[in-house]
Amino acid sequence: MFGEVYAFPPVAITCANWSIQKRRGSNRRRMKLPGQWVNSMSKRAEIENRFLEVAHEIGVPTGKTIVQFQGDGMATPYVDLKDSDEIYYVVEEGGVELERVKCSSIDNVLYFLFSDITHDMASNYAATHGKPGTEFRRLMFQEQLRLSGLASKEWRLERELEIKEILRKAPYNDGMF
């Protein structure tokens, strides 16, 4: 970890038992117990490090290797770490929360982040490698499963179940099985 520079903005400034926390463009003073910010910051660092490891394993383009911990208002997914050690995967657009999922672990929140990233990567792959007469989703889902499997067998199985549910509701329409 030493010698590496990350471009992540600081989340909090702590001074004795008082802390100033940056929240949606305003500063808020709150009384904190001494170890709470340390736990939050170490969890954030663990998420960032594991994110970068997985991103490297599956070949995520450099521009997409940033974990956000604050919404940008443009529907970019981010991780919301609460004081009570809760982790949320959040998508927010124009100040409106579109999705908020309470995650049971760091691995769980990484699954949601990489589901979005692998979907984008697989869509780009399908757009450039598609064949006439074959439905776009077929190649996209295959590529997303391949990418998910590079990160984790469990993630691949989870995404496979989600894709089966999608196809149950909206089957392929290219005549292939």
Cα dihedral 120/103/58/172 (nearest 10)? -50
In a domain, 176, yes or no: no
Q: How many domains does the chain have?
A: 1
Is residue 150 over pLDDT 80?
Answer: yes
Between 46 and 33, where is the model more confident?
A: 46
In a domain, 1, yes or no: no
For every residue of 53-83, DSSP letters joined together read HHHHHHT--GGG----SS--SBS--EEEE-T
Q: Which residues lie closer than 8 Å to 99 by C-beta, 6 or more apart?
A: 89, 90, 91
pLDDT band at 49 (very low <50, low <70, confident <90, very high): very high
Dihedrals phi, psi of 132, to nearest 5 degrees = -60, 140
In a domain, 34, yes or no: yes
pLDDT tens digit string along 125-136? 999 999 888 899
pLDDT band at 84 (very low <50, low <70, confident <90, very high): confident
Q: Are 105 and 152 in contact (CB under 8 A)?
A: no
pTM (two decimals): 0.74
Q: Which domain holds residue 45?
A: 12-169
Mean pLDDT for the chain overall: 82
In a domain, 27, yes or no: yes
In a domain, 17, yes or no: yes
Between 19 and 154, where is the model more confident?
A: 154
In a domain, 7, yes or no: no
